[in-house]
Amino acid sequence: MADILNVATITTDAAHRVIAAAEAKAAEIGVPMCIAVADPGGNLKAFSRMDGAPLLSTQVAQDKAYTAVGFGMPTHGWHDFIKDDAPLAAGAPTGIDRLVIFGGGYPIQVDGANVGAIGVSGGHWSQDQEVAEAGLAALAP
Amino acid sequence: MADILNVATITTDAAHRVIAAAEAKAAEIGVPMCIAVADPGGNLKAFSRMDGAPLLSTQVAQDKAYTAVGFGMPTHGWHDFIKDDAPLAAGAPTGIDRLVIFGGGYPIQVDGANVGAIGVSGGHWSQDQEVAEAGLAALAP
Amino acid sequence: MADILNVATITTDAAHRVIAAAEAKAAEIGVPMCIAVADPGGNLKAFSRMDGAPLLSTQVAQDKAYTAVGFGMPTHGWHDFIKDDAPLAAGAPTGIDRLVIFGGGYPIQVDGANVGAIGVSGGHWSQDQEVAEAGLAALAP
Amino acid sequence: MADILNVATITTDAAHRVIAAAEAKAAEIGVPMCIAVADPGGNLKAFSRMDGAPLLSTQVAQDKAYTAVGFGMPTHGWHDFIKDDAPLAAGAPTGIDRLVIFGGGYPIQVDGANVGAIGVSGGHWSQDQEVAEAGLAALAP
């Protein structure tokens, strides 16, 4: 009987490249951001708060990464998932610790596996998404 | 006269049987889950996170068991209970620590007494309920 | 450049066998225990509180597993590690969140890799160690 | 007359250089580390957890940076500061949230001003200090 399973996990080097690519996009659109990368265990792997980024975003970026790794889906998927489900709409954002249901958190996928997640906060969530996606592109083949 | 009351409490052995039955149902429907059993004091009695279960469910399953033991009613009963009561609707999910108002948490009853609770998380709450009910059935006469 | 590394992680099935073996030893010595298994991310994988185990042990067992996974060494190694190092002796137990420096927590090793950890609490730490070691033996080749 | 004072604060770019220099030293001595940089408000500015760094170090590195910025002195200064002062020796490590009294946290100084702090964790604190000092050297004139 197999006693272990192997969990693919993003390296520190790859996490730094994801953050650098996200920072470049945030600079391009002129909105300073906080950017966090978590591993599949939900633990912080790398983080950057750009000069001028909102202070509250420090935690929100980390929570978005945590949320994205926690269910393996982007944070912006939660609103559609819960909006027509009254108990979840009323209870998920308050009842699930650190859950963020607006955009900016994405699983990081390599070869089809979720190897961690990125969380971005600092602008409107649509801008956060744009920056996060630029970060993910750093790992594209 | 009587200075004490006896609190009927689920045994560890029964808790393991509840979890095993729930795991079997979760495997059958193909959705890996986290399953928690709490005692009448709200304290964790037994827990299992199935391979591949969402990380966020680790805490949610425990909070569902805690909620179910906390008022002696299933978590899915909360939405109906509060939805037309404005102060509760606005304030209960946010104001009561660890309260979960969607399905997946149930009191565990033996001979009419609440002897603990089960909390399940990992799929949609309707799936969580199905798995939790399969767990409860392990104690049926 | 490799973007991922693979982390070997204990399966739920193996975690249950570890706990069952630990419970058998605790029953044999007549000291009810709490037994926790964590994965390499420090997240709870499986848990059991035996009937009659001390309530405080619920958290201590989890913290021992967390400590053991946190530095990849048994919790009883900490006392020797810090006792002649005044700043650590004064500062490690208080300054490192959830650190437990007495016996009962061990990394779980499979094929030389730390795949998680076990934490046991309920008796004297020397008894906790005995029970934890019986749990580890469940995975021996 | 003057209603404001200017707080000199490390830039994100400088924080990244500090972390990169610390990582290079950690790689040189073969001990993977967690490295955190905080700003004068005690808030996380940048962070990196090197592959293989101990999980517990994730928080300890951040707490060392927080401690160093909190009083503007290195964390290793605390032990001498409190060891012969009974109330402080008994009470500071336990009574001050996030206080770390062993080495690895330093204020970051630029032109004589404390502009933030670095916190390093992963090896013995003497190794953590060596790595933190290498990080600080990245800003030397």
- Interchain proximity D49–A45, CB inside 8 Å: yes
pLDDT at A1 over 60: no
Chains C and D physically touch (3 or more Cβ atom pairs below 8 Å): yes
Distance from CA of A108 to the nearest CA of B (A): 15
Evaluate whether residue C107 is within a structural domain: yes
- Interchain proximity D83–C86, CB inside 8 Å: yes
- Interchain proximity D55–C42, CB inside 8 Å: yes
> Which chain A residues are closer than 8 Å to D58 by Cβ?
43-44
**Number of Cβ pairs < 8 A linking chain B and chain C:** 46
Per-residue pLDDT, C2: 79
A12: phi then psi, degrees, rounded to nearest 5: -65, -40
Evaluate whether residue A116 is within a structural domain: yes
- Interchain proximity A87–B99, CB inside 8 Å: no
Domain count within chain C: 1
Across chain A, mean pLDDT equals 96
- Interchain proximity A88–B54, CB inside 8 Å: no
Select the residue from C7, C66, C84, C88 to test the D interface by mutation, using most D Cβ atoms within 10 A. Answer: C88
Evaluate whether residue C126 is within a structural domain: yes
Distance from CA of A98 to the nearest CA of B (A): 9
Picking from C75, C24, C69, C74, the residue whose alpha carbon sits closest to that of residue C45 is: C69
Per-residue pLDDT, C65: 98
Distance from CA of C125 to the nearest CA of B (A): 21
pLDDT tens for D22-75 read 999 999 999 999 999 999 999 999 999 999 999 999 999 999 999 999 999 999
**0.90 cut: is pTM over it?**
yes
- Give the CATH number for residue B85: 3.30.450.150
Across chain C, mean pLDDT equals 96
Per-residue pLDDT, B1: 64
Distance from CA of D116 to the nearest CA of A (A): 13
Per-residue pLDDT, A140: 67
Per-residue pLDDT, D2: 87
* A33, β-bridge pairs: none
d(CA A65, CA A74): 9
Evaluate whether residue A4 is within a structural domain: no
What does the pLDDT average to over A85-101?
94
**Number of Cβ pairs < 8 A linking chain A and chain D:** 45
Residue B140: Cβ-neighbour burial (10 angstroms; 0-12, 13-18, 19+): exposed
> Which chain D residues are closer than 8 Å to A15 by Cβ?
48
Distance from CA of B85 to the nearest CA of C (A): 37
> Which chain D residues are closer than 8 Å to A49 by Cβ?
12, 39, 43-46
Per-residue pLDDT, B89: 94
Per-residue exposure over D32-71, b if at least 16 CB sit within 10 Å of its own CB, e if not: bbbbbbbbbebbbbbbbbbbebbbbbbbbbbbbbbbbbbe
Chains B and D physically touch (3 or more Cβ atom pairs below 8 Å): no
C105 by DSSP, 3-state: which? strand
Q: In what order do the strands lie in the sheet with A113-121?
A: A105-110, A113-121, A34-38, A44-49, D44-49, D34-38, D113-121, D105-110
Evaluate whether residue A1 is within a structural domain: no
Structural domain of C18: 12-138
More confident residue, C19 or A1: C19
pLDDT at A43 over 60: yes
Evaluate whether residue C101 is within a structural domain: yes
Ranges under pLDDT 70 in chain B: 1, 140-141
Picking from A92, A80, A95, A86, the residue whose alpha carbon sits closest to that of residue B80 is: A86
Evaluate whether residue B7 is within a structural domain: no
d(CA D37, CA D105): 10
Chains linked to A by 3 or more Cβ pairs within 8 Å: B, C, D
Longest C-alpha distance within chain A, in Å?
54
pLDDT at A61 over 70: yes
pLDDT at A117 over 60: yes
- Torsion from C-alpha of D60, D63, D69, D73, nearest 10 degrees: -50
Per-residue pLDDT, D141: 67
pLDDT tens for C30-78 read 999 999 999 999 999 999 999 999 999 999 999 999 999 999 999 999 9
ipTM of the complex: 0.95
Picking from D35, D18, D48, D14, the residue whose alpha carbon sits closest to that of residue D135 is: D18
d(CA A63, CA A68): 8
Evaluate whether residue A96 is within a structural domain: yes
Whole-number Cα distances in Å, D5 to B32, D2, D12, D69, D108? 56, 8, 21, 18, 19
pLDDT tens for C87-98 read 999 999 999 999
Per-residue pLDDT, A2: 81
